[in-house]
Structure 1
Amino acid sequence: MYSTQMEAAKKGIVTKEIKRVAEKEKIDEKVLMELVATGKVAIPANKNHKMLDPEGVGKGLSTKINVNLGISRDCADVDKEMEKVKTAIDMKAHAIMDLSSYGKTHEFRERLVQTSTAMIGTVPIYDAMGFYDRDIKDITPKEFLDVVKKHAEDGVDFMTIHAGLNRETVEIFKRNKRLTNIVSRGGSLLYAWMELNNRENPFYEYYDQLLDICREYDVTLSLGDALRPGSINDSTDICQIKELMTLGELTLRAWEKDVQIIIEGPGHMSIDEIEANMILQKKLCHGAPFYVLGPIVTDIAPGYDHITSAIGGAIAATHGADFLCYVTPAEHLRLPTLDDMKEGIIASRIAAHAADIAKNVKGARDWDNEMSKARKEIDWNKMFDLALDSEKAKRYREESSPEHEDSCTMCGKICAMRTMNKVMANESLTLSE
């Protein structure tokens, strides 16, 4: 018998989840089992999430992407969010993170667990605010843990918990001024609770109880970065690194109890710092899977942050990040619409795939080679089938029809593919109109 995927792997048991992930990733089950046993790969798979088609996150596997959804006070339409869930899964998102922060969120979470084949994440401290409906100062440590347990019972596969923001780290933050202070919502709420009550972070103080909950339901703990940089000015500062060191210690404590760990990372960061940050995280956190928001590589592009994030995400994943949280064009501006979500997913999938090519993930280049073959053969239907966004590719083609079907309206008769195909087949070539 086993309680978690990690415990099973340590005992040499190939679970159905390990078998499925090995099949998807085209790797040997024993190799995957060793990676899970040593914490290099996490397979978030809550025992109560019956619809799950499991994914592996970590070393040697394809880069995964997460989509943030959820209701808020200003946008509380559960049906609209469920429409986004269906679309996100159809667009091959690997994870759905419910960031609901208003009212009684159980309805949305319950429907999500009942329908989502993708792994599901939550941030319980958001839900605590609505669930208890009182000032954060008055929520007790036990009540915070009760919300975690409720999410675990409901079937959530991984949870973001900002356990690394302890009193020691807070003092360092106070002594080292930042341009944008604390931009993590969960981190700012915990900081407020700690300051108002003059107490230790409850998730740090009662970390063992938190691990017991995770072990019981096989919830993967996604250790949140409360002090992630919210501007390129604040990246790789002492606050970020001190918290990361604490997360490394908490990782070892979790593994002792067979609880799987994912480490969360920046944030906003200039391009030249990304590689070093990935190396540092892997070193300080013992090779645990790394989950990044972006990194967003410039602060000046609201409305286009899916692009600034995809640039950073591709570089980050190339150098060790395993899991990319999507960013939409609406980042920093509003709750994303369905169309915003689609753009964010496409941008993140491009970044993830580009990194998989660089990392030599098994089979990653095959997709590109098939597309190149279809382009050489000017096989439009095949190109559409292979396109990351088939609908958009078809629409662009249909909106500007060429005179010659074996070309497009940009090149016409002087299409290089058309020219080379005819010349190499010893066919006559007429370029005049």
Structure 2
Amino acid sequence: MTFSILPAAHPVATTTAAAAKAPAAATNPLDDLRHYWDISVAWVNSHWLQIGIAVGAGLLIYVLLSMVRTFALKHAQSAEGDLTLTHIAGRVIHKTRSSVIAIIAIRMVAGYAQPPAAIMQTIQFVFTVAVVLQVAIWVREIILGLIQRRAAEGNNETLSNAMGIIRLLISVALFAIAVIVILDNMGVNVTGLIAGLGIGGIAIGLAAQGIFSDLFASLSIIFDRPFRVGETIKYDTSTATVERIGLKSTRLRSVNGELLVISNTNLLAKEITNFAHLHRRRVTFTIGVIYQTTPAMLRDLPALLEEQVKAAGHEFIRSSFLTFGPSSLDFELLFDVFTDDFEAVVAARTDVAIRLFEAMAAAGYEFAYPTQTTFTAAPDGTMIMPYAESPKPKASAARTAKPG
């Protein structure tokens, strides 16, 4: 009698082969659950040593990652000041979930234990979902931290009030992207979903175009800072002080006392002059002297003007003859005053003007003022002078007598 000894089939392989030969028809969920249970039991029985080593390594990785998170969080929280970059990093670390650390540790050691395909796919799916959602939370905290840091630098009340809306918009956008990434990793065709979200976003944007336009204009003002609360600006033909920057409009107080309420979109659509950022201001004088001024005095006048500007402590730019006016010879004087305070500029302009008046009066210059001469004609066309003529000398009445 002939005996043949065949190698024993591996439990997992036998079960897998049997599963492969099973019909593709729909089965009872209880049978499927029992089937996966049998696979898991067979895997544990055949790989118990590798599983034990993987569990130990996973626990060690989890403990190490938790210690790193705790150390980084304490270091970030011990930093001085609020809303610094270190403080923002601490907020991000604080939002790191222990469950995410656990699934990362499991994913790192899962390959060593050689789990069945179904268990490995489950681990991979849970890992993808946890990591994608955790990254979305990290990105949200970084963006919100930077926005709040920007608001704290300018002590901006508007941005602080808008943080609720900003948090909602950022959260919706980031988690929508996270869901799309998760579905794409699951093998779902997300092209239609992305197209639908795009069309929906366009519809919402068109419906709330005015609101979003003013909101983004407000954020542009807050972050770009063309002006701040308390600064004086010139908008269109109005000069006013900024009182409040709102989500939809900005309130300005004009120099005459009126309250101007302008939408943020319209405010940014025109040129704005911010007087608070003028580190120097240019002052211009036009000085007219009479036509009777001598040519020598006219040549000396620019040097006299320059001397007085420098004596007042300001930067002289130029002084030159400008034009022949209707009743004066006009000179132009330009100089710069280096200060941010407009009141100091006004005082400097007054000081220079008084100095010029004193110096020119002492040098014999006469300031011109509008004059007009009227000439009158007699009926015969003879010009009648506007002043009395000097009397003509009378002819001598005495005549020399002729000899008789």
Shorter-chain TM-score bucket reads: under 0.3
Say which structure, 1 or 2, has more relative contact order (CA 8 Å, 6+ apart): 1
**Structure with the bigger percentage of helix:** 2
Larger radius of gyration: 2
